[in-house]
Structure formats: structure tokens, C-alpha cells
Structure 1
Amino acid sequence: MMNKSLISAITERDRAMQRAIKSVIPYVKHRLCSWHISYNAQANIGDPKFTAAFLKCMVSWWTIEEFDIQWRSVVSEFNVEKHSLVIEKGNTRHLWAQAYLTGHFFVNMRSTQRCESMNASLAIALKHKKTYLDVVRAIEDRISRMHMNELKADYLSSQTMPFQITKQVDLESHDAEIFTRESFRAFQDELQWETLKFETIGLPCRHQLHILKHLDYTYLPGTLIQNRWTKDAKASAPSFVDLNVPPEVMQMARFAALRSTSSRFCYIASKTDASFKTARDEMKRLT
């Protein structure tokens, strides 16, 4: 992809696939899908409380030492030391526990559900199709909806400004201009107090932001900005999407963007009687 080598891979627990990755691309950091792991834990152990504790061990930003302590505690608490699944997961913890994967870039992904959801939606769409033409139309319809969602996200990022939630007005304003809407929300979460977050996800961690606030920075240094999460991420990549978007599609995208923005605005305005009346009167004036 654009002359860059693969650095990360997320797969199911298929052993043949694991062997292939280790043999063909040994330099790639391999991670097992969290959804499949938690599903198998529930299916094999059958205790929702164990599954919840197992999931906490899997996703928590602990150190390796903290994880090992918590893992032994969970295994002992539920008396599953001799269960084959638990033994296997203990031996492969480096493939699924966040503690062992922290510091390696996975684009904030833990599962293969993005492609799984695509496969599921296509399976539903194709269930009653009988001809090859029906199949092609169903696939094109799914791809069209994906492009529509992307268009809406791009429109929201370029044409709207997120609400500010902290007193760091200048810092938030600067970064809202840089990051896409979804990336900025993750940035805001960190702005309100984890180690190696930047290396793992690609967004500044709370410790870095705390130092910037202490130094009275009103902007984010370029060294803490990964182009992947910015509004300019697509600028250097070739586009294969038809830019001649039909007017009705653009109208739908604008409507979706306005509805999304106004929904949060209405929620905030409804918190007090005064803000409710002000918002209502302004909307009446505009319409």
C-alpha cells in the first residue's frame, strides 16, 4: 500500500493463518480478534461473569506485570486453571492482551468486525438473490452506502466544528481544525487524564497533553500529529471514488450532517430552561 510494508495484522485464531503470518511476514505484529476470543470464552466456559473478567484483562491498559497478576487472580477465582481454553489463552496472551500489545500501532482496532459486519450485511442482502446481476447489484449497493457514510463523515469534518468541553479553548480550537471529527472526539477524551498511547493508537496521551497545558501551549506540535487522523489524510492518496456525486446524494449528506450537529446542540440546549428558550427562539427565527 503506497510503498509501505505491512506492520500489523488482526485475524481469527486460525492456526494455519498464524503459521503463514509467522513464515511469510515475520516482521508483522500479529493480534487475535477480540470479538472471536470473547465469544469463544463465553461458548466454552459459559459463565458471563468470567467472560466479563476475561474481557477486562484483554482490553485494560495495564503493564505486563499488572496483567499477569490480574490474570492469575481471575483464573483462580473462577477455578478454571485446568480448562483447555484458559491454558491455551494463557500461552498465547501476547497475541490478545493489550498489556502485551501496547506500544505497537493497530489503528485503535482490536477486532476484525469491520470486515465481518460487511460480510454479514452482504450475506443478508444476497440471501434471496438468484442471478449474478442481483449479486453485483447487491455488492454495488453496499459499496455505495459505504461511500455515502464516508462522504457524510468528510462533510461533518470539513464543514462543522465540534463543541469544546474543556477550558483549553485555544488548544481545542487549534486541534479541531486539524483532526477529523471522530479523531478529535478521541483527542477530547484524553484532554479531560495512559502510557504509550501515542505509539499504539497515534493520538497524544493524557500525560503529553498535561505537559502541553502546563507549558501553556495553544497548539499541538507537529511531532504529536499523525497525518492518518487528520482532515488531510486523503490528500496524498490516490482517489478512485467518482467525484461527480449526484445532487440528491449531496443533499442527503448535508441533511445528515445538519441532523447530527443539531441533535447534539438540542441535547445541550435542553439542559436548562434559559438555554432551551434561547435555542427554540433562534431556531424559530431561522426557519
Structure 2
Amino acid sequence: MDKGKGKEFIIDLNDEDFDYQYDSIVKTESDEEAILVSDKIFNDLTVEDVWNMEFSLVEEAEEFYNLFAKVTGFSVRKDDVKRDKNQNIVSHKAQLNAMRGVGMGTSQIMDYMVQQSGGYNNVGFTKKDLYNHVDADRRVHLRDGDAEGALAYLCGKSEMDPSFYYKYNVNEDNHLANLFWANSTSKLDYGCFGDVLAFDTTYRTNAYKKPLMRVLALILGSWRLFLDAMNNKKPLSVITDGDKAMRKAIKRIFPDSCHRLCAWHIQRNAFTNVHVKDFTNHFSKCMFMEGTVEEFECAWNDMLEMFNLHGHKWVTDIYAKRSRWVEAYLRGHFFATMKNTQRCESMNAYLNRFLKTHLKLFEFVKHFDRALSRIRHNEAKAKFETHHSSAVLTTKLYALEKYAGIVFTRQSFLKFRDEMKNAELFFPVSTENHGGYRVHTLTKFRSPDKIWKVCYGNSDRSMKCTCMMFESVGFPCPHMIVVMKIEHLEEIPETCIMKR
């Protein structure tokens, strides 16, 4: 071995005394005695000594690090010791463990190695490599070795990400029972966009047949831990597939949140439980009708009379839950255009490319992390395209459309442009002035019996429409766009843009 900084520290692996001491360590029956013997050699060994070691033979490096491992407790395989690109005999893995053995933390090790090497490119491995390696060394003492690996991986993630959150609990047998984790980006996303949660519980996603509960933009394993991780912010609305345990939990944990049942599941159940021709079509019309609660009730009773379904058990049961699936009852509650858990289903399909039922927990966590990283990459790409490209303008309302292309994300802009085209079907029939505001009454081409009223504030240009689309989905309805034309607005009022 060659010198350390500031002084000479030389160990001759061919020295008879050194061989004798090494043999003593190998042959001794007492671990304490072995440590005492090796301390004679390594008592003055510093971080600089470890980092600057050079060997003439791979076998010498392997022998030295194995000897040092007797003191510090790490293990060395022959594959850990090899030549670098400059043909020097080095072992980054062995060096790393040795530096940990003299009391350095992960961040200290990385900083020191970068400093000594003049940058990451010269260290021989990246920061990610370092943390991946450290993960395997940070074990939680559970009997389930697979759980240990998963927890070590998450522990390593928390060292790279100061805001990374993970917690778990164990059962009476000291085995992992529940696990929850969320990275800083997921937490930040929820803080900005966590108004609606869509849940889909899917089983058989790993070898233990444990459910993975997916939440848009984050992972959820426990309600209480979820609130703890998200600074106790509760969502405005929740969409589920109708699971009874989920419904009870939402009522208890999120009592003020509006709970909606997935429209797709409701329609499927209608088809499965009521075997009457054309019933499903009429049922769907009642579900999505744009009218008032009173209009829904009338349409519902007409449907019961038409198909003679008074007293039908499923129809009676689903009617009792109408406040959670009928559009007339849910209008005005913000759901970000979602009426079902379809986004969860599409997420399932995406994750199936990464997750298989045979995966162990440690593999499962890593593969899920890969999938999440890919999603983040796609989000960054979409953000780049929004900020560094111009939207294609296709309507006659050039100024308004151009402004929408600036203030909205590209995906939201396309939705808004569709509503601009829908606005061509509506036209005003009257305007009433009420001091500080005006009320515009609109009707629709070929539907003269239907009217919508838009209240427009003169001072702040605020708008409120009786259709309540803005409150429900988050961007202006076609009736508001008609009023923007009437009022000669070239920019979308700030009150009509959600701060998200």
C-alpha cells in the first residue's frame, strides 16, 4: 500500500509480522482477540489512507480489505476488487465500505470522493451508484429479509431526497405489515393539485398478493400516514370504485370531502343486475343529465314506470346512493373532469409494464420507482413543450385563443379550444343590468326550451354560470366564452383561471 496524505503509512503485505497477525485473526476463536490484534495495524488508519491505497496485485487488495473487514464488519468479494480504466488496482466498493468503517456518513463519503477526484466523472461511479450500494448496507432488523431490502432501498432514497417520506409497521411476528412512501415531488404535486383523489385497489400486484392502492400523483398505503405525509391537507373530492371499506374510511377520515362513485362501475352493474332491454341507456341518461335535481327525480320515476321496476332490489339500492353518482347532485363539486376511475385504470395498464405478480417486495418497490421516474420524465417533456412552443390557433377569436395558449398548459388549452368551438352553438336572448353586474341569458341552437344564465361582474370581470361547469371541472364553460365575446374581452378573466 502507498502513502496517505500528510504522513507515510505503509503496510507490506509480504511482511512476516503482518502475515502472522493476519493468520492470528483467521485462526483465533475469540472475535474480541481478533479485533485487538488487528487494531495494532489499523489504529492510525485515516480516511485519506483508505482513499489513496494502491496495490500491485488484485490479490493483495482483496487480502487487505478482507483483513480490514474483520475490524469494520463489511464484506468483500473478489469482484469488488479490479483494475480501473488506468490499470490501477482499486476497489471502489471496498473503499466505500472501508470509509464507512472509519465512521464516515454517506454524504461525507460522496463529498470527500468527489473532492479528491476532481468531480463525479473521475470518481469511477456516480452518486446514484453510491446510494444504491449504501442501500444494501442499511438494513432494518426484521426477520423478513425481502422487507429489509425494500426498507433499505427507501432509506437510501430518503438520504438523497430530504423530503422523502416513508413509514411502516410490523405485526406481532415482527414481519412487515404495511408500508407507505411518497417522494418530495409527489408531496409537492399533492400540495398544488391534491383537490381530487381517485382510488383503485388492485390485488395480486406482487408475490404476497398485497394490494397497491394508487392515488393520482402519489402512492397511498395508509390513510393516517397519507395525511401525515401531506401536511394534513384533505382533498375536496374522492372517486372510488364502490368498495365498502373505502367508503367507511372516507366518511371517517375525510368527512367534508365529496365522495363520488365511479360512473363506469355503476353502468356495468346496471347492465349486470337489470336484464331489461334498453334499461342501461335510459339509466345512463338519468345519470348524466344536465338538469336540476327535480328534473332528475322526474326522469327517474318515468324510467321506473316505463320498465316496471318499482321494488327491484338493485334499482332501489342504487337510488339510495344517488347523491354519490347522479350528475345533478354532484354538479358544483370539483372533480377535475373525472367521473370515473379511468385514469387509475390507465395507470394500471401503464404499471403492468413494470410490475409482475411474481415480484418480491424489494423488486416491487424498485420497479415501481422506475415506473414513476418514467412518468416524471413524460411530465417534464410536456412542460418543456408548453413553455418552448406555440399553440396552433384555429378559431376566429384570435386574441382570446392566443391568450389561452399562454396561460394554460397545452393539454388544458386543447380542452378550452374545444369549448370555444362548442360556444358557437349558443347565443344570447336577453341581458339584464343590476348595478354592479349583468345577467346574460343564453339558449342553444335547436334547443330553444333550454336556457343558461351567466352573471358577469363589471368591476372584476368575474363570471358564474348556472351550469356550474367551472366549479366542477376547473375551466370556463362555452356559456362563459359567449359572454366573453359579448363583453369584448381579449383575455380570459383571472377569476376564470384556476391557480393550479
Report the TM-score when normalising by structure 1: 0.70
Match for 2:239: what amino acid? I
The reply on whether 1:220 has 2:220 as its aligned counterpart is no
CA separation of 1:208/1:79 partners in 2, compared to 1, >3 Å: closer, same or farther? same
Counterpart code for 1:205 = C
- Structure 2 residue 279 is matched with structure 1 residue 50: yes
8 Å CA contact 1:122–1:138 kept in 2: the answer is no
Indicate whether 1:142 and 2:371 are aligned: yes
Distance 1:201 1:128 in 2: 36
Alignment of 1:254-265 (within 5 A): none
Pick from 385, 390, 393 the counterpart of residue 156 of structure 1.
385
Q: 1:80-138: CA deviations, max 9, x gaps?
A: 33321111121111110111111111111112232343345445643364544543443
How far, CA to CA, are the matches of 2:361 and 2:235 in structure 1?
A: 34
Q: How does 1:1-287 map to 2 (within 5 A)?
A: 1-2=190-191, 4-46=233-275, 49-123=278-352, 125-127=354-356, 129-132=358-361, 134-192=363-421, 193=423, 195-228=467-500
Q: Percent identity?
A: 39
| 1:213 CA displacement | 0.5
- Find the aligned partners of 2:410 and 2:383 in 1 and give their Cα distance: 9
Asked which structure has the greater CA Rg, the reply is 2
- Flag structure 2 segments of 5+ consecutive residues without an equivalent: 1-189, 192-230, 424-465
2:260 match: secondary structure: strand
The code of the aligned residue for 2:327 comes to Q
Check conservation: 1:197, 1:204, Cα contact below 8 A: yes
Q: Deviations over 1:33-89 (max 9, x none)?
A: 112111211221245732233223222322212222222233333333332111112
| Partner-residue secondary structure (3-state), 1:80 | coil
Mapped to 1, the partners of 2:377 and 2:280 lie a distance apart of: 36
Residues 109 and 169 of structure 1, relative CA distance in 2, 3 Å threshold: same
What's the TM-score, normalizing by structure 2? Answer: 0.42
Secondary structure of 2:259's partner?
A: strand
Point out the more displaced range, 137-146 or 25-34: 137-146
Cα deviations by residue, 1:214-270 (Å, 9 ceiling, x for unpaired):
111110111111122xxxxxxxxxxxxxxxxxxxxxxxxxxxxxxxxxxxxxxxxxx
Q: Residue 40 of structure 1 aligns to a residue in which SS?
A: helix
Q: Which structure has more helix as a fraction of its residues?
A: 1
C-alpha RMSD of matched pairs (Å): 2.4
Secondary structure in structure 1 of the residue aligned to 2:238:
strand
CA distance 1:187–1:126, change in 2 (3 Å): closer
Greater RCO between the two (CA within 8 Å, min separation 6)? 1
Q: C-alpha distance in 1, partners of 2:277/2:362?
A: 44
Equivalent-residue separation in structure 1 for 2:302 and 2:344 (angstroms): 34
Gaps of 5+ in 1: 229-287
Contact 2:234 2:254 in 1 (8 A): no
| 1:126 match: secondary structure | coil
Cα distance in 2 between the residues matched to 1:203 and 1:59: 19
Call closer, same or farther: CA 1:186–1:121 in 2, change over 3 Å.
closer
Q: Is the Cα contact below 8 Å between 1:7 and 1:27 reproduced in 2?
A: yes
Distance 2:255 2:360 in 1: 42
Indicate the SS of the match to 1:227. coil
Distance 1:141 1:50, change over 3 A: farther
CA contact (8 A) 1:107 1:202 kept: yes
Q: 1:159 to 1:90 in 2, by over 3 A?
A: same
Whole-angstrom CA distance in 2 between matches of 1:162 and 1:88: 48
Question: What secondary structure does 1:94 align onto?
Answer: helix
Distance 1:5 1:64, change over 3 A: same
